[in-house]
Homo-oligomer: A and B are copies of this chain.
Amino acid sequence: MKVLRLAPATRRAQLLEVGRSIFTERPYDDFSMDQVADLAGVSKALLFHYFPTKRDFYAAVLEEAVGEMLALTEPEPGATSEEQLQIGLERYLDYVSSHSPAYVAVLRGGVGADPKIAGIAEGFRQAMLDRISTALGLDAPAPAQRVAVRGWIGMVEAASLDWIEHGDMARADLVQLLVAAFTWVVELAGIEPPQR
């Protein structure tokens, strides 16, 4: 029997890809590692060789999705902070609309209160918060500022989910709404936007 051997990195990537296609469509406890292995044309033992537990596998898949999201929404280096925000949001919404299952999986996903899993989505939000803080030139935001920006990110996520669910609003309008909201939040929390 001819068994094809792949380089570990390749196999790992393939398994993650299979994982993604499953995780974005079915609940965590609704499929078995056996099924994942079958779908990947691989033994279950190999799957567990690459990912020690099911939760690790789940976490790895989510992490990859988060990495992709961050890469695709990277800010434009040369632009002003307002332009960065607008362009970032446009890319964000583009990603959301073209990868909605993965997006939903990351945000709403998770296995109950597993801190490791929750930490992945949280890391994503933190990364976005860092980007914003950097763009604004803030090092250690005051509590009110942090809560405000954090709340704004929650607003972006909720609005995005509603947006892709209903699909009855132009992307540009939503971007405008969110940019305006951000500007307002920044003013309200007493954060001084940097001079262009």
Interface residues of A (CB under 8 A from B): 23-30, 54-55, 58, 101, 104-105, 108-114, 117-118, 143-144, 146-148, 150-159, 161-163, 166, 168-169, 173-174, 177-178, 180-181, 184-185, 188-189
Q: Which residue from B24, B25, B147, B158 sits with its C-beta under 8 Å from A177? A: B147
Q: Could you list some 10 contacts between A and B, CB below 8 A? A: A27-B117, A29-B112, A108-B110, A147-B162, A147-B177, A148-B177, A151-B155, A151-B178, A152-B155, A177-B188
Cβ contact within 8 Å between B30 and A112: yes
Instruction: Report B-chain residues with C-beta under 8 Å of the C-beta of A154.
Output: 154-159, 161
Q: Which residue from B104, B113, B155 sits with its C-beta under 8 Å from A109? A: B113
